[in-house]
Amino acid sequence: MAFSLTGILAVLLEFLRPFLLPLAVVAVIELILIVVLVLRRGTLRVRPAVRLAAGLGVAAAVLTTLLLPPWTGAGLAQLSGLLDYAAVIGGGIGLGVAAGLALYPPLQLFFRRP
């Protein structure tokens, strides 16, 4: 079961279970911020917010890539094959993109024109 799709999803669900309620709260807040952005689209400065969100997303990706093995009880020394490295790097990139996308609406509201 460990290498089947069902087994992988079960392990992922058990890993993410403590974070599901906070993720739902963040998703609702993001939706509210996106509605506010759509209503104020004439006063937005897009470039600084995108640059900062992208930079913070890259920082989150690097940090997540380094911290993902210890979160699972392993260490960087226990990554042995190409699949292990691809999974850790892919997870870091995915969470970095998610962080950048989640940070964009509040940053966009911060960088709006008065």
User: Tokens 């709260």, residue?
Assistant: 25
Token digits for 47?
């470039």
Token digits for 72?
């699972």
Would the pTM count as exceeding 0.85?
no
| pLDDT tens digits, 73-104 | 787 778 888 888 888 899 899 999 999 999 98
What is the DSSP code (8-state) at residue 44? -
What is the DSSP code (8-state) at residue 40? T
Count of other CB atoms within 10 angstroms of residue 108: 23
Radius of gyration of the chain (CA): 17
User: Tokens 């993109």, residue?
Assistant: 97
| pLDDT tens digits, 34-48 | 888 888 777 778 888
Tally of CA atoms within 13 A in the half-sphere of 50 that contains its CB: 4
